[in-house]
């Protein structure tokens, strides 16, 4: 038997996810050792768990910068690749996890559902997501997808007392298993099409045209489930509605980043040999249109944000289609997706964290009626929600605008101005529903009793960071734009 | 100017002021009010300092500032001012202190947010007038909507929510297509920098068909803002529901964004398309002139009447802008110069009318004409101000409105006499509805007992009304000092439309 030896590069490459996994396990241990399972315990802020989580996330973030610069190194016999692209995506995932664990203490104790599993689960999930962002063979991709999914299923059903939580978790599990089936079948086809290789790097020109196309198509469908692209999106609103609002926010961002990272790597590897550009663009168009239209008459904020998340998956698909256009693979345009995801992180997590700082008895405060008059009651939280909404709608001076600008610009430069026009028209539609919470918060008088959670320093800090991030990316985007452009340079090589 | 980034200072003074005000305790309302007024006065002062070193003989951009901003995405921070924008910038900085002063008594709810919204709005407007990079302009153009949306939606009247949403969606829908058109230009010229694009278009013009589409996208956005008939339907709602300050800013400055957009971007970027679209836009403007005037004739709500008069007046401005070339191919400067002057005039006269309506509304809480009549005896000073504003609005010689209208009609007559004939009916109708308004509002017998004890204008109100009257007379009698600022630029500008 061969001896297992890690090279230094391999060690550095797995360091971030290893730290995240270790933090997750540590959190589980801490919870069992220090928690005495007293029912009242669920309302305590458990600051030790929050601080441990934050420290773990910061450490993992620091570990991202340990490995070398703009190189692309294949490690573990091709199972993973250490490059700037992977680290960019991992950075977003870790930041999302950091902000979530920062906010979790105040939120969960506020609704009286604070248990250590929550912290442990997001870190275990995040570890798998970081691995997925770096994975470059079929096996490692699949293992990462399954690991992160397990964490998500449990999080979706985290609040056992809520009926919709159980329903959402069940639906998520069934749909997730179903999509894994597609993914696995597609991988099997790719394995056959490449003549028995599991390495993405081998999926270039040598792919059997028929088997390769079917395989790529099935894998794309598998990931379309994960990111909630139409027509594989029906689980998203139910899962968001059932999940605790903070978990929904974390899922919305982190899953999307990890799945898109994997999808981009895969698409870059198979190239346009499978003629997928048209299909991906069609998915993008339908997803943008349907997501935004369905969001129009939602009165539950979580459902509205779920449809908005679906629509954003559509925008994110545009660069993927562009990258494949006319048979030549052009990874440069994928920078738009990366930047968009970074802007999406602060924007979306901003709303979810803001909603986490409110409660309605022991329930989430998640309807349009519930936030009426928030502008008078809690002006700063209302301001943060407004900022996020403005950014989601893609109005200037916010990260959301820069992201859309980046993507639409590439679409027009790539000769697909129609995509940009459709994107713009769907954005127009979206403005209507993004304004509805703003109308409710500022233009209506308070109707219901909204409470603010106590012990919310972590929530406020997280909210401050996301709001600052939205404005920073809207006003000074240059550094991140340049970084995202550098990140995709070596993709597909 | 001695390396001092004066334009940056002008744009961002209100925004920085808004940031400072956000740290003031909300209970401290008087500090908030005085602070906002001071900030707007500082901005006015800065713009006057800029004016003193403005070389009016030059027709090119002055005080230019260029910085790379997001080089990876091709956006630059490029500011500049010329004869087309200088009067509008001054109009903005001049109007805002008066607006702040006018809100001292009537805005009592959420004073802090109100002042901050107005200051941010001012920064947005100034930025849009001074930006010379397409995307940079777009940022201000859009960002401006948000404070205005809140001003209408929070501090507005009964149907404020409907009006705010309508205003926002209308304007946003228009501007998004302009955004795609900007990206297309970028694809063609490789930059968003307006002077660079215009220079490169001289040697490498866009195809005619391309121009038609792009011009249409830009024109839709600007036409909604102006508004040009039939895209005007948001305006009466927004004006009627907005609080006084909102109406003044909307009528005084915001509407000019549209006509300014045509001048700065729409026409020079797409000269061939402009030629094709000119008759269409002119006819729509003519319809707007007559239609707005007819609608104004039958209104019973004073504010709505003035709102429809804006539709009519802006029709002249649009008409003037597009009368830049005579049939024999010679340039005609009168139309554009008159239009630019008329933008200022309309800002002054309509702004003042809205302020006056606000004053009477504060006292009587009604804007229905039927509830007034004969109040000239009760509030004589108020009535004098109202009559001056009316006369300015209908273009009495000696006041500002006359000069602008005369120049525009002169320009129109040189190019298309038929248009001039139709447009003049608007002048006549304007006199009819404004004088009818004055008669029904101020004169006649005092029917309603409640009106017998209305207080006349206070000292504070006189303070903010008088500067407008001074400007009206100054422009009316000494219009040359104003047109001199504009003319050299317009003469150079017309070369771009070749």
* Band (B332; pLDDT cuts 50, 70, 90): confident
Q: Is A478 on the interface with B (CB under 8 A)?
A: yes
Secondary-structure percent of chain A, ordered helix, strand, coil, rounded to 5: 75, 5, 20
Q: Quick check: A425 and B153 CB within 8 A?
A: no
Q: Which of A84, A172, A476 is nearest to B69 (CA)?
A: A476
- Chain A residues with CB under 8 Å of B140 CB are 396
The pLDDT tens digits for A178-207 are 889 999 999 999 888 888 888 887 777 777
DSSP 8-state symbol, B263: I
Give one word for A482, left, alpha or beta, with left for phi > 0 and alpha for psi -120 to 50.
alpha
**B226 Cα to chain A: minimum distance (Å):** 20
How far is residue A276 from each of residues A220, A288, A317, B260, measured CA to CA in Å? Answer: 9, 18, 12, 45
| Cα(B212)–Cα(B411) distance, integer angstroms | 25
User: Residue A219: what are its φ and ψ, rounded to 5°?
Assistant: -65, -40
The pLDDT tens digits for A152-180 are 999 988 888 888 888 889 989 998 888 89
- Chain A residues with CB under 8 Å of B73 CB are 402, 405-406, 409, 477, 481
Q: Is the pLDDT of residue B330 over 90?
A: no
Question: pLDDT above 90 covers what percent of chain B?
Answer: 28
| Cα(A443)–Cα(A90) distance, integer angstroms | 40
* Band (A455; pLDDT cuts 50, 70, 90): low
The pLDDT tens digits for B135-182 are 999 999 988 888 898 888 888 888 888 888 888 888 888 888 888 899
**A367 Cα to chain B: minimum distance (Å):** 19
Residue of chain B nearest A391, judged by CA positions: B143
The pLDDT tens digits for A334-391 are 889 999 999 999 999 999 999 998 887 777 888 888 888 888 888 889 999 999 999 9
Q: Is the pLDDT of residue B435 over 80?
A: yes
Q: Which of B114, B179, B182, B175 is nearest to B148 (CA)?
A: B114
Q: Quick check: B143 and A395 CB within 8 A?
A: yes
Q: Is A395 on the interface with B (CB under 8 A)?
A: yes
CB-defined contacts A:B, below 8 A: 87
Helix (H) or strand (E) holding B389: helix B380-394
Q: Quick check: B73 and A477 CB within 8 A?
A: yes
The pLDDT tens digits for A44-80 are 778 888 889 999 999 999 988 876 667 777 877 778 8
Q: Is the pLDDT of residue B122 over 90?
A: yes
What integer is the mean pLDDT of B366-395?
Answer: 88
Residue B77's SS3 state is: strand
* Band (A38; pLDDT cuts 50, 70, 90): low
Please name every residue paired with A360 in a beta bridge, in sequence order, or none if there are none: A363
What integer is the mean pLDDT of B379-408?
Answer: 89
Q: Quick check: A443 and B71 CB within 8 A?
A: no
Q: Quick check: B183 and A417 CB within 8 A?
A: yes
Long-range Cβ contact pairs of A2-9 (< 8 A, separation 24 or more):
A7/A75, A9/A67, A9/A68, A9/A73, A9/A75, A9/A82
Residue A85's SS3 state is: helix
How far is residue A324 from each of residues A223, A306, A418, B291, measured CA to CA in Å? Answer: 17, 28, 16, 53
Please name every residue paired with A74 in a beta bridge, in sequence order, or none if there are none: A81
Q: Which of A448, A462, A450 is nearest to A350 (CA)?
A: A462
Q: Can you give the pLDDT at residue A41?
A: 65
Facing residue for A432 by CB, picked from B69, B113, B169: B169
* Cβ partners under 8 Å of residue B135, min gap 6: A405, B74, B75, B182, B192
The pLDDT tens digits for B19-41 are 888 888 878 888 888 888 999 99
Domain extents in chain A: 8-489
| Cα(A225)–Cα(A305) distance, integer angstroms | 17
| Cα(A466)–Cα(B337) distance, integer angstroms | 48
The pLDDT tens digits for A291-344 are 999 998 888 999 999 999 999 999 999 988 888 876 667 778 888 999 999 999
Q: Is the pLDDT of residue A35 over 90?
A: no
Q: Is the pLDDT of residue B406 over 60?
A: yes
| Cα(A118)–Cα(A115) distance, integer angstroms | 6
Q: Which two tokens stand for residue A356?
A: 């986490």
When scoring A376, A422, A443 by the number of chain B Cβ atoms within 10 A, the one with the most, hence best to mutate, is A443
**B143 Cα to chain A: minimum distance (Å):** 6
Q: Quick check: B184 and A412 CB within 8 A?
A: yes
Is residue B27 exposed (0-12), middle (13-18) or buried (19+ Cβ within 10 Å)?
A: exposed
**A100 Cα to chain B: minimum distance (Å):** 28
Q: Which of A332, A322, A320, A316 is nearest to A491 (CA)?
A: A332
How far is residue B415 from each of residues A259, B321, B327, B330, measured CA to CA in Å? Answer: 62, 12, 6, 10
Q: Quick check: B187 and A408 CB within 8 A?
A: no
Residue B275's SS3 state is: helix
Facing residue for B180 by CB, picked from A396, A412, A478: A412
- Cβ-contact A129, A144 below 8 angstroms: yes
Which residue has tokens 């004939």? B421
Which residue has tokens 């607006």? B99
Q: Is the pLDDT of residue A21 over 60?
A: yes
* Cβ partners under 8 Å of residue B340, min gap 6: B83, B84, B87, B88, B263, B486, B490
| Cα(B76)–Cα(A127) distance, integer angstroms | 40
Q: At what angle do helices A8-34 and A47-64 cross, to 10 degrees?
A: 180
State ipTM. Answer: 0.84
What is the residue-averaged pLDDT of chain A? Answer: 86
* Band (B346; pLDDT cuts 50, 70, 90): very high
């Amino acid at each position: 038997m061969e001896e297992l030896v890690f090279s230094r590069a391999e060690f550095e490459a797995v360091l971030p996810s290893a730290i995240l996994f270790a933090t997750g396990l540590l959190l589980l241990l801490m919870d069992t050792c220090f928690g005495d399972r007293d029912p009242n315990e669920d309302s305590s802020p458990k600051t030790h768990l929050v601080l441990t989580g934050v420290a773990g996330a910061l450490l993992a973030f620091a570990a991202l910068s340990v490995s070398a610069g703009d190189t692309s190194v294949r490690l573990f016999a091709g199972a993973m690749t250490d490059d700037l692209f992977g680290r960019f995506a991992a950075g977003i995932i870790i930041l999302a996890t950091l902000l979530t664990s920062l906010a979790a203490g105040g939120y969960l104790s506020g609704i009286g559902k604070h248990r250590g599993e929550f912290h442990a689960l997001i870190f275990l999930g995040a570890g798998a997501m970081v691995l997925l962002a770096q994975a470059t063979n079929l096996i490692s991709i699949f293992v990462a997808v399954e690991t992160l999914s397990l964490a998500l299923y449990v999080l979706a059903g985290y609040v056992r007392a809520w009926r919709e939580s159980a329903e959402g978790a069940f639906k998520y599990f069934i749909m997730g298993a179903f999509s894994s089936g597609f993914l696995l079948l597609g991988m099997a086809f790719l394995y056959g099409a490449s003549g028995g290789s599991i390495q993405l790097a081998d999926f270039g020109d040598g792919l059997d045209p028929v088997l390769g196309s079917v395989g790529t198509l099935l894998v794309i469908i598998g990931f379309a489930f994960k990111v909630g692209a139409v027509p594989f999106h029906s689980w998203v609103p139910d899962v968001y509605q059932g999940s605790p609002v903070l978990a929904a926010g974390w899922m919305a961002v982190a899953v999307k980043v990890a799945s898109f990272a994997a999808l981009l790597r895969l698409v870059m590897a198979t190239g346009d040999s499978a003629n997928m550009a048209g299909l991906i663009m069609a998915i993008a168009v339908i997803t943008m249109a349907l997501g935004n239209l369905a969001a129009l008459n939602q009165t539950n904020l979580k459902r509205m944000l779920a449809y908005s998340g679906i629509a954003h998956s559509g925008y994110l698909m545009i660069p993927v289609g562009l990258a494949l256009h006319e048979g030549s693979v052009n990874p440069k345009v994928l920078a738009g997706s990366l930047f968009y995801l970074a802007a999406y992180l602060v924007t979306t997590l901003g709303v979810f964290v803001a909603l986490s700082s409110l409660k309605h008895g022991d329930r989430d405060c998640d309807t349009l009626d519930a936030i009426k008059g928030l502008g008078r009651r809690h002006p700063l939280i209302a301001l943060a929600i407004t900022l996020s909404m403005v950014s989601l709608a893609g109005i200037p001076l916010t990260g959301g605008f820069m992201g859309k600008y980046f993507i639409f610009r590439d679409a027009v430069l790539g000769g697909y101005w129609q995509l940009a026009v459709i994107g713009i028209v769907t954005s127009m539609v979206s403005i209507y529903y993004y304004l509805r919470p703003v109308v409710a918060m500022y233009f209506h008088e308070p109707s219901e009793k909204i409470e603010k959670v106590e012990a919310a320093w972590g929530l406020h800090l997280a909210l401050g960071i996301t709001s600052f991030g939205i404005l920073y990316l809207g006003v000074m985007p240059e550094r991140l734009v340049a970084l995202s452009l550098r990140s995709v340079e070596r993709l597909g090589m | 100017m001695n390396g001092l980034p004066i334009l940056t200072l002008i744009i961002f003074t209100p925004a920085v002021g808004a940031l400072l005000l956000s740290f003031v305790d909300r209970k401290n309302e008087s500090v908030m009010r005085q602070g906002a007024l001071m900030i707007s006065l500082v901005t006015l002062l800065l713009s006057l300092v800029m004016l003193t070193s403005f070389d009016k003989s030059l027709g090119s951009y002055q005080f230019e500032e260029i910085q790379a901003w997001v080089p990876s995405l091709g956006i630059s921070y490029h500011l500049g001012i010329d004869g087309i924008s200088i009067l509008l910038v001054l109009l903005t900085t001049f109007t805002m202190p008066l607006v702040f002063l006018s809100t001292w008594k009537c805005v009592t709810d959420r004073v802090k947010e109100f002042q901050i919204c107005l200051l941010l709005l001012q920064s947005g407007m100034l930025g849009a007038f001074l930006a010379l990079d397409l995307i940079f302009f777009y940022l201000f153009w859009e960002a401006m909507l948000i404070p205005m949306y809140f001003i209408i939606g929070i501090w507005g009247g009964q149907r404020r929510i409907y009006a705010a949403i309508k205003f926002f969606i209308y304007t946003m829908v228009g501007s998004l297509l302009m955004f795609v058109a900007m990206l297309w230009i970028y694809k063609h010229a490789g930059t968003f920098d307006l002077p660079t694009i215009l220079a490169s278009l001289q040697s490498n013009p866009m195809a005619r068909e391309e121009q038609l589409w792009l011009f249409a996208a830009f024109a839709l956005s600007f036409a909604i803002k102006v508004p040009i008939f039939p895209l005007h339907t948001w305006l009466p709602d927004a004006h009627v529901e907005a609080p006084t300050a909102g109406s003044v800013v909307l009528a005084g400055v915001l509407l000019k964004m549209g006509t300014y957009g045509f001048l700065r971007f729409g026409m020079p970027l797409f000269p061939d398309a402009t030629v094709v679209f000119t008759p269409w836009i002119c006819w729509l403007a003519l319809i707007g002139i007559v239609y707005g005037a007819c609608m104004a004739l039958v209104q019973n709500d004073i504010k709505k009447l003035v709102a429809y008069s804006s539709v009519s007046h802006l029709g002249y401005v649009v008409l003037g802008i597009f009368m830049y070339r005579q049939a024999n191919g010679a340039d005609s400067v009168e139309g554009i110069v008159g239009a630019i002057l008329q933008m200022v005039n309309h800002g002054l006269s309509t702004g003042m009318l809205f302020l006056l309506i606000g004053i009477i509304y504060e006292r009587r809480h009604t804007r229905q004409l039927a509830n007034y009549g004969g109040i000239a005896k009760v509030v004589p000073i108020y009535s004098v101000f109202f009559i001056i504003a009316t006369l300015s609005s209908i273009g009495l010689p000696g006041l500002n409105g006359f000069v602008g209208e005369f120049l525009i009609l002169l320009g129109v007559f040189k190019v298309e006499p038929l248009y001039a004939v139709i447009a003049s009916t608007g002048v006549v109708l304007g006199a009819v509805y404004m004088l009818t308004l004055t008669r029904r509002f101020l004169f006649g017998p005092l029917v309603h007992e409640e009106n017998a004890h209305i207080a006349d204008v206070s000292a504070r109100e006189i303070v903010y009304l008088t500067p407008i009257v001074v400007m009206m007379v100054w422009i009316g009698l000494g219009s040359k000092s104003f047109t001199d600022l504009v003319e050299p630029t317009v003469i150079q500008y017309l070369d771009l439309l070749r």
